[in-house]
């Protein structure tokens, strides 16, 4: 049980990742798919932040009396990954707007049947 | 002075020029900037090739921070080979973009197209040259995001759904890769690829974190490569993208993803871990053989020629993975040579289809009936590229298959050699359907006014077709460098 609690963050990562992927696969609504993708990406952010934590460490600020601090590098990496995620979401939403204009729907099944009937 | 910064320049020039295109806004200026940027990048890559051959591995410290702390740009035989493929195809396709229908369609926003094109080039070059694992992910996303934009520019509304599908699949793939990089960092405490490979044995090969990282990386890269059965995004994306974009992406994007797989599996994880401790070779071989056959068979039943070529691309990736799965210098040489040769042949064929689309506004086999009489040069180029795709002697395609068969025989797996030959025969079937329609069917009446494609479309297509024949005869560069790269990859384990 102690193991389970010690790995609490990683359980959250797995739950978020699976929930996100499930939404991407199971939902037909294009916006919901993007939301799923975001949840999936968020799980990776949590993963990076979790393993950068050093027990008993504080924020990485150079000051007197602070010698143990968390690893700041993954934080920086994730900042970059968040920017990439934002760009992906923005582009995805822009595509959905164009798809809605052209097809009049954002449901995957409807789009598919419109393409089939052409 | 400038020479020392060459590794940085080949990626920074396209990056800055992409921004410059947006600032200039004028269509012609943006075109000139894009053209010069791709050519400068290609020239830089050629200089790097010469330097890497003479001096060995070039390591460039970004911002003066020595590796493993700073980001390292690393140029060895494999890196520079990829740089040449990407920038070479980029500079042949760039002049083609100007006259293709695409720019008339986007009109006053043409500068945006050039900007996205240069960003995509920059991203692909960056992935090929960087020695830092996280940096690789960032460049991969730069190239992916811009390629989603480029694909969405297609004339058909299905281009939008294709781009969306690619965005979802591509993001999942890239996120898998970033999970793998995170786990590797967790296990080794480093992001520099060479440094990770040195620290991995200390972390222990039985370490579950490392094994999980390996699994995430292979699946993520396979999604990006469009390795069968994860190829679902590719046929739609290449079919509905504008011709220029299909040619550029088909020739470069999947190759760069194959590079990621090679680099991680062989250099970072090492041959011992990837193939001796984990049984990776057999799944790769099985998927490669499936990829050689099933998409080829699907290609035989398509009516849109672009889709035929797209499925054929999935099949060709099978050959590259097959060489990888053989885990020998000969097999890897074949894989790497095929990356180069496939870029040449698919680039040529997609450019030819762009010429046809320019004149008749369609790539359907039925619409192409008798077109060889109206566009003889265009169709001759198609036949040239097609011969190379099949692997007829004296073409580039023959060289890669020859080396692949030799590598298979080297292992004593003659049945694999037979399978390679049989799968090449399927290529004859799907290409013959196009050639039969174009040469032997009567042209319909509405084809009377169709004339030969304009020169600035035809010349880039022919450059690539002639390159197919050149590299089918003189293999000293293409095979020579590939062999060096393969030896370095195998030796790193």
Domain ranges of chain B: 280-493
- Report, as an integer, the average pLDDT of B324-348: 90
pLDDT tens for residues B41-70? 999 999 888 888 888 888 888 888 887 788
Within a 10 A sphere around the Cβ of B370, how many other Cβ atoms?
16
- Report, as an integer, the average pLDDT of B180-191: 90
% of chain B exceeding 90 in pLDDT: 30
Residue from B152, B156, B157, B303 whose CB has the most chain A CBs within 10 Å, to mutate: B157
Domain of A55 in residue numbering reads as 2-117
Cβ–Cβ below 8 Å for A91 and B160: no
3-state SS, B304-338, equals: EHHHHHHHHHHHHHHHHHHHHHCCCHHHHHHHHHH
CA B405, CA B101: separation in Å to the nearest integer? Answer: 41
Prior bond to B340 cis, omega within 30? no
**Interface residue B212 vs chain A (CB under 8 A):** no
CA B347, CA B344: separation in Å to the nearest integer? Answer: 5
pLDDT tens for residues A46-99? 999 888 888 877 887 888 877 888 888 888 999 999 999 999 999 999 999 999
Would the pLDDT of B474 be above 60? yes
Average pLDDT, chain B: 87
Cβ–Cβ below 8 Å for A95 and B152: yes
Q: How do the residues of chain A divide into helix, strand and coil, expressed in percent and rounded to 5?
A: 75, 5, 20
Q: Give the minimum alpha-carbon distance from B443 to chain A in angstroms, rounded to a whole number.
A: 25
Q: Is the ipTM of this complex over 0.90?
A: yes
- Report, as an integer, the average pLDDT of B483-492: 80
Q: State residue B97's pLDDT score.
A: 81
**A91 contacts on B by Cβ (under 8 Å):** 145, 148-149, 167
Q: State residue A113's pLDDT score.
A: 87
Would the pLDDT of B423 be above 70? yes
User: Which of A16-20, A108-112, B266-270, B362-366 is predicted with the least confidence, judged by mean pLDDT?
Assistant: B362-366
Least Cα distance to B42 among B84, B5, B103 occurs for: B84
**B175 contacts on A by Cβ (under 8 Å):** 40-41, 44
Would the pLDDT of B21 be above 80? yes
- CATH code of residue A82: 1.10.287.3510
Q: CA triplet B200, B206, B207: central angle to 5 degrees?
A: 65
CA B139, CA B153: separation in Å to the nearest integer? Answer: 22
% of chain B exceeding 70 in pLDDT: 97
**Interface residue B171 vs chain A (CB under 8 A):** yes
Cβ–Cβ below 8 Å for A74 and B185: yes
Q: Give the minimum alpha-carbon distance from B179 to chain A in angstroms, rounded to a whole number.
A: 6
Choose the closest CB to A103 out of B141, B157, B163: B157
- Report, as an integer, the average pLDDT of B438-463: 79
Cβ–Cβ below 8 Å for B160 and A41: no
- Report, as an integer, the average pLDDT of B208-229: 90
- Report, as an integer, the average pLDDT of B224-252: 89
Q: State residue B143's pLDDT score.
A: 94
**A18 contacts on B by Cβ (under 8 Å):** none
Would the pLDDT of A2 be above 60? no
Would the pLDDT of B493 be above 50? no
Count of structural domains within chain A: 1
pLDDT confidence band for B167 (50 / 70 / 90): very high
Helix or strand run (H / E) with residue B72? strand B72-75
Cβ–Cβ below 8 Å for A95 and B160: yes
Question: For B433-437, which contacts have Cβ atoms below 8 Å and span 24 or more sequence positions?
Answer: B433/B300, B433/B308, B433/B365, B434/B305, B434/B308, B434/B365, B434/B368, B434/B382, B434/B386, B435/B379, B435/B382, B435/B383, B435/B386, B437/B365, B437/B366, B437/B368, B437/B369, B437/B370, B437/B371
Would the pLDDT of B447 be above 70? no
Which of residues B136 and B276 earns the better pLDDT score? B136
pLDDT confidence band for B1 (50 / 70 / 90): low
**Interface residue A80 vs chain B (CB under 8 A):** yes
Choose the closest CB to A92 out of B161, B167, B186: B167
Q: Residue A69's beta-bridge partner residues?
A: A58
**B158 contacts on A by Cβ (under 8 Å):** 115
Q: Give the minimum alpha-carbon distance from B137 to chain A in angstroms, rounded to a whole number.
A: 9
Would the pLDDT of A1 be above 60? no
Which of residues B383 and A62 earns the better pLDDT score? B383
Q: State residue B4's pLDDT score.
A: 82
pTM of the model: 0.92
- Report, as an integer, the average pLDDT of A13-22: 93
pLDDT tens for residues B73-129? 888 888 999 999 999 999 998 888 877 656 556 667 788 888 999 999 999 999 999
Residue from A95, A109, A118 whose CB has the most chain B CBs within 10 Å, to mutate: A95
Q: Give the minimum alpha-carbon distance from B356 to chain A in angstroms, rounded to a whole number.
A: 22
């Amino acid at each position: 049980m102690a193991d389970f609690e010690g790995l609490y963050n990683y359980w959250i990562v797995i739950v978020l990742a699976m929930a996100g992927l499930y939404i991407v696969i199971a939902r037909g609504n294009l916006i919901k798919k993007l939301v799923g993708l975001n949840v999936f990406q968020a799980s990776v952010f949590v993963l990076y932040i979790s393993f950068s934590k050093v027990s008993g460490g504080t924020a990485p600020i150079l000051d007197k009396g602070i010698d143990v601090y968390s690893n700041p590098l993954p934080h920086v990496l994730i900042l970059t990954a968040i920017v990439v995620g934002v760009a992906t979401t923005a582009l995805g939403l822009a595509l959905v707007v164009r798809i809605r204009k052209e097809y009049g729907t954002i449901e995957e099944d409807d789009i598919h049947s419109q393409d089939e009937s052409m | 002075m400038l020479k020392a910064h060459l590794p940085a320049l080949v990626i920074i020039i396209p990056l800055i020029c992409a921004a410059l295109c947006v600032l200039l806004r004028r269509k012609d200026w943006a075109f000139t900037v894009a053209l010069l940027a791709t050519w400068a990048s290609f020239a830089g890559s050629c200089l790097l090739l010469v330097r890497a051959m003479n001096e060995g591995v070039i390591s460039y410290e970004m911002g003066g921070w020595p590796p493993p702390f700073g980001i390292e740009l690393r140029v060895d035989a494999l890196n520079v080979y990829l740089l040449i493929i990407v920038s070479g195809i980029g500079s042949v396709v760039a002049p083609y973009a100007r006259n293709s229908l695409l720019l008339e369609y986007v009109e006053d926003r043409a500068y945006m197209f050039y900007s996205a094109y240069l960003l995509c080039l920059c991203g692909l070059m960056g992935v090929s040259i960087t020695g830092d694992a996280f940096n690789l992910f960032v460049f991969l996303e730069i190239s992916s995001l811009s390629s989603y934009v480029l694909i969405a520019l297609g004339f058909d509304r299905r281009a939008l759904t294709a781009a969306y599908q690619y965005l979802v699949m591509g993001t999942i793939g890239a996120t898998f890769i970033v999970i793998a990089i995170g786990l590797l960092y967790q296990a080794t405490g480093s992001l520099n690829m060479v440094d990770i490979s040195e620290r991995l044995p200390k972390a222990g090969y039985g370490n579950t974190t490392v094994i999980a990282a390996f699994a995430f990386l292979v699946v993520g890269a396979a999604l990006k490569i469009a390795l069968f059965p994860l190829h679902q995004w590719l046929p739609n994306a290449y079919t509905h993208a504008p011709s220029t974009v299909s040619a550029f992406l088909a020739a470069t994007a999947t190759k760069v993803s194959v590079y990621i797989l090679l680099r991680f599996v062989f250099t970072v994880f090492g041959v011992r871990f990837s193939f001796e401790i984990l049984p990776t070779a057999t799944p790769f071989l099985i998927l490669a053989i499936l990829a050689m056959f099933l998409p080829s068979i699907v290609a035989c039943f398509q009516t849109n020629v672009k889709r035929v070529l797209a499925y054929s691309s999935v099949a060709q990736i099978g050959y590259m993975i097959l060489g990888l799965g053989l885990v020998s210098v000969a097999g890897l040489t074949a894989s790497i040579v095929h990356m180069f040769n496939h870029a040449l042949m698919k680039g040529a064929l997609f450019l030819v289809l762009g010429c046809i689309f320019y004149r008749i506004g369609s790539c359907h086999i039925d619409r192409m009936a008798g077109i060889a009489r109206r566009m003889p040069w265009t169709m001759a180029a198609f036949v040239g590229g097609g011969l190379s795709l099949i692997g007829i002697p004296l073409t580039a395609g023959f060289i890669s298959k020859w080396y692949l068969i030799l590598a298979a025989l080297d292992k004593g797996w003659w049945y694999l050699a037979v399978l390679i030959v049989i799968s090449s025969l399927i290529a004859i079937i799907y290409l013959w359907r196009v050639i039969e329609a174009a040469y032997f069917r009567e042209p319909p009446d509405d084809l009377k006014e169709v004339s030969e494609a304009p020169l600035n479309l035809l010349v880039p297509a022919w450059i690539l077709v002639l390159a197919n024949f050149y590299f089918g005869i003189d293999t000293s560069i293409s095979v020579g460098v590939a062999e060096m790269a393969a030896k370095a990859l195998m030796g790193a384990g």
